[in-house]
Amino acid sequence: MEAKVQEILKIFEEINTIPRKSKNEQAISNWLVAWAKDNNFSVHQDETLNVYITIPATSGRENDPIVILQGHMDMVCEKTPDSPHDFSKDSIKHLVDGEWLHADNTTLGADNGIAIAIAMVLATDDSLSRPPLELLFTVDEETGLNGAVNIQQEHLKGKILLNLDSEDEGVFTIGCAGGRDVEIALELEKDSTATEARCFKIAVDGLKGGHSGVDIHEHRANANVFLGRMLDYLCKEAPSLQMGSIHGGSAHNAIPRNSYCTVSVIDDEREALINTFEQAALKLEEAAKTYDPDIAITLTELDESSSLYTKESSQRVVALLNTLPHGILQMSVDIENLVETSTNFATMEMKGDSLHLLCSQRSSVAQQLDWAVAKVESAAKLCGAPYTTGQGYPGWEPNVNSSILATCKKVYTELFQKEPHVEAIHAGLECGLIGAKFKDMDMISFGPTIKNPHSPEEKLHLPSVEKIWDFTKALLQAIN
């Protein structure tokens, strides 16, 4: 591994000592500003905490087009249930397994910390021939692209943008889906009557989870969905069932890996609940085994009862969980194997006596995104639950005649003696919002190979980092 790649990985490890969960990017943003000042680069930090850094060209390249290198600071913070990691203060531990770099039962944050590290080394390597650069590091990408929403246009002069947030080396991304979230707030009524009851905790765990855009086509099980299915089985055989607390999922763009709820039944229905659970668990585990063979659905009897909601409220919860859509809604008719429209039943969280459910919709077609959102809104209406629909973010329409695409294909083919793959993706990228702000921006997205982003199984392919380094060096040489 060449020295510059080792430098990239060293910087990435330093980045991973700084907590950078979405909406907690003050420290990483300040660190980048300090780095720029230490290197005598012009830098601006806006109120959103986005960072803009201007890098002068190397000798003889001063009049070449300005190139923007772009990535985001924040990361999805996921860990295994047994991990003691505290994302608010602990460093991400780097572990090497052959050609792969991963973390210790947490997300690695290569999405998108590796982009920052690559850009920093490109900016400080004076042995390279490069045009003028602008480094654009945004915040809060993972929870709604909010940094990109608030980009200040006056701080960017370049018209060529290299987004370093793709996750398959050898693939150039030239388009992405737009998205919009719906949050449902179902008010629940507490049961103030005191009755003798048997209390249980139901948990769904062991799922792969993953990115709700990149991995949605793999049909991975959704813990929230499977919990709803289990509750439906139980309510039919134990009609006295009442809900207590409920929780599931972690982020709008992550397929839920685990969920749980507490329930109670009258003493006479205890055996019916246990027997029904055992039979239903076998059915659900069978349904998930192809894509999530490690799924675990458990029932634990509790010694103490918890606050309960009325049977009517409990039935509304179960009905809503089983009405909300999840997964692929439509495949593209224009691009083979591209998911056009999908929805992710992302999170469940109690806030007081209100159950908040978040569903995240994506589509590369605006009217189909409206349809996906309407499906979720309709489910909320049927259950009498108010909802809030976000403004969302635009998609990025592919431009097959892009000048930077042509240059990238030429450079890649000459360097590696094979042609790259060009695609549009179902995930959201900041390029959609950037393109909406800068109508004449010529954009492309690429990056090293990252597997299982947004899950504790996230890992970075080290040889692909070296290839991206070599390619980006050659690309900056070729842009003139």
How would DSSP label each residue in 338-392?
-EEEEEEEEEEEEETTEEEEEEEEEESSHHHHHHHHHHHHHHHHHTT--EEE---
For domain 179-389, say whether CATH 3.30.379.10 is its number: no
What is the pLDDT of the chain when averaged over all its residues?
95
Strand order across the beta sheet in which 459-461 lies = 94-97, 100-103, 459-461, 450-451
401-439 pLDDT per residue, tens? 999 999 999 999 999 999 999 999 998 899 999 999 999
| pLDDT classification of 167: cutoffs 50, 70, 90 | very high
pTM above the 0.85 mark? Answer: no
Residue 194: what pLDDT? 55
37-89 pLDDT per residue, tens? 999 999 999 999 999 999 999 999 999 999 999 999 999 999 998 999 999 99
350-405 pLDDT per residue, tens? 999 999 999 999 998 889 999 999 999 999 999 999 999 998 889 898 898 999 99
**415-423 CB contacts, 8 Å cutoff, 24+ apart:** 415/470, 415/471, 415/474, 416/170, 416/467, 416/471, 418/170, 420/170, 420/171, 420/172, 421/168, 421/170, 421/171, 421/172, 422/171, 422/172, 422/174, 423/171, 423/172, 423/173, 423/174, 423/175, 423/335, 423/338
Enzyme catalytic residues: 74, 141
The tokens of 54 are what?
């201007």
Tell me the CB-side half-sphere exposure of residue 49, using CA atoms within 13 A.
20
Residue ranges of domains in the chain: 3-176+395-478, 179-389
CATH of domain 3-176+395-478: 3.40.630.10
Residue 196: what pLDDT? 67
179-207 pLDDT per residue, tens? 999 999 999 999 987 566 899 999 999 99
Nearest to 408 by CA among 368, 367, 446: 446
Residue 1: what pLDDT? 75
297-349 pLDDT per residue, tens? 999 999 877 789 999 999 999 999 999 999 999 999 878 889 999 999 999 99
Give the total residue count for the chain. Answer: 480
